[in-house]
Amino acid sequence: MAERVGFIGLGIMGKPMARNLLKAGYSLVVHNRSRGPVEELAKEGATPASSPREVAEQAEIVITMLPDSPEVRQVILGENGVIEGIRPGCIVVDMSTISPIVTKEIAAALAAKGVSMLDAPVSGGERGAIEGTLSIMVGGPKETFERVLPIFQVLGKNIVHIGENGAGQVTKACNQIVVAVTIQAVSEALVLAAKSGVDPAKVRQALLGGFAQSRILEVHGQRILERNFKPGFKARLHLKDLGIALATGKAVGVPLLTTSLVHEMLNALCAAGREEWDHSALVTLVEELSHTEVRAAAT
C-alpha cells in the first residue's frame, strides 16, 4: 500500500504537482497559506489540513514546495510546524529552491528527531509540473531517496540522486545560473537580429538547427516572439535563486561574474515592476536599451 503523502505549498508549481499525486492514486493531505487551492484539491479527493503540524501528523512523507529559505524554515521548524507533528521513521522532502546552508540546518534538526530529509529542487517550470516531466535534483541519504523514488517518478522524468543533504540545492543553483545566462544570451541575439532588420523568427529557426540549439531558445525564444510573458517562472523567483547561487559561490570561493551581471538585470526587471512576469521578460530590458522590439516578421 502506498504511503500517505503530505503536501505543503500549493502555488504555481505545488498545486499541479499535488494534483499529479492524487491522479496517481496517492492518499494526500494538503495545506497552503491561502485556502483556495486547498479547497480545490479537497474537491478532487485530498484531505485538507489547517497547519503544517496537522499535515505531518497524518502523513509518512511530507513534501514542501515553498518560495524561499525563511518560509521553509518556518513551515518545518517553526511553531505549529512539521517538526512538531512528524514521527520518527517518516520523511520530509523539500522541493523548494533554497539555500544549501539552510537545507543542512533543517536536515540536522529533523535527524535529531529520527526523521530523514531530502532536498529535491526541481526544474521545468509550470509546464513541467503540470505534465509530470520535471527534472528533480536530490540530496540526502541514498536509502531515503530509494523509498521516495516512486513519488518522484510521478512528478518528473529526469531524477538524479546527487549526494548528501545540500547537494540537490547546489545543483539547482547551477541550473539557475545556466538558465538565466542563456535567457540573457537568447534575448540579446534576438534583439540584435531585429535591430539589424533580420527576421528574429527565422534567426531562431536557423539557430535551433545548430550548435546554439537549447531548450531556452526553443521555448523562451518562442515566448519572446509571441510577447507572452505570462509567468511559467516568475522573474522575482529567479532573482532570488541567483542570489542563492552568488551567496554559495562567495561561501566556497568561486567568482560568478556573468551570474552577477544577469542577477542585476533581473533586479532591474523587478524594479521596473515586472517581478511577476516570466523570467523570459529579460528581453524587454535589452529591447528598451536598444529601442527595438522583437517580433516575427509579418507573413
pLDDT tens, 148-189? 999 999 999 999 999 999 999 999 999 999 999 999 999 999
| Distances in whole angstroms, Cα of residue 76 to Cα of each of 51, 55, 69, 124, 282 | 11, 11, 11, 25, 34
Q: What is the 3-state secondary structure (H, E, C) of the chain?
A: CCCCEEEECCCCCHHHHHHHHHHCCCCEEEECCCHHHHHHHHCCCCEECCCHHHHHHHCCEEEECCCCHHHHHHHHHCCCCHHHHCCCCCEEEECCCCCHHHHHHHHHHHHCCCCEEEECCEECHHHHHHHCCEEEEEECCHHHHHHHHHHHHHHEEEEEEEECCCHHHHHHHHHHHHHHHHHHHHHHHHHHHHHCCCCHHHHHHHHCCCCCCCHHHHHHHHHHHHCCCCCCCEHHHHHHHHHHHHHHHHHHCCCCHHHHHHHHHHHHHHHHHHCCCEHHHHHHHHHHHHCCCCCCCCC
Q: First and final CA of the chain: distance in angstroms?
A: 57
pLDDT in tens, 4-25: 999 999 999 999 999 999 999 9
Q: Are 191 and 287 in contact (CB under 8 A)?
A: yes
pLDDT of residue 7: 98
Averaged confidence pLDDT in the chain = 96
pLDDT in tens, 82-129: 999 999 999 999 999 999 999 999 999 999 999 999 999 999 988 999
**60: phi then psi, degrees, rounded to nearest 5:** -90, -30
**Domains delineated in the chain:** 5-163 (3.40.50.720), 170-290 (1.10.1040.10)
How far apart, in whole angstroms, are the C-alpha atoms of residue 126 and residue 219?
A: 13
Return the CA Rg of the chain.
20
Give the confidence band of 2 by pLDDT, cuts at 50, 70, 90.
confident
How far apart, in whole angstroms, are the C-alpha atoms of residue 278 and residue 85?
A: 36
Give the confidence band of 274 by pLDDT, cuts at 50, 70, 90.
very high
Query: Does the pLDDT of residue 62 top 60, yes or no?
Result: yes
Give me 35's grid cell. 485556502
How far apart, in whole angstroms, are the C-alpha atoms of residue 188 and residue 207?
A: 14
pTM for this prediction: 0.91
Q: Which residue among the candidates 23, 142, 172, 202 is catalytic per the annotation?
A: 172
Q: Are 162 and 137 in contact (CB under 8 A)?
A: yes
Q: Are 154 and 21 in contact (CB under 8 A)?
A: yes
Give me 117's grid cell. 530529509
How far apart, in whole angstroms, are the C-alpha atoms of residue 288 and residue 294?
A: 11
pLDDT of residue 296: 75
How far apart, in whole angstroms, are the C-alpha atoms of residue 16 and residue 122?
A: 13
pLDDT in tens, 199-234: 999 999 999 999 999 999 999 999 999 999 999 889
What value does the mean pLDDT take over residues 31-54? 97
172 is a catalytic site residue:
yes
- Which residue in this structure is represented by grid cell 546552508? 101
How far apart, in whole angstroms, are the C-alpha atoms of residue 224 and residue 121?
A: 26
pLDDT of residue 299: 53
pLDDT of residue 298: 63
Q: CA 172, 177, 210: angle at the middle one, nearest 5?
A: 110
Count of CB atoms within 10 A of residue 226's CB? 11
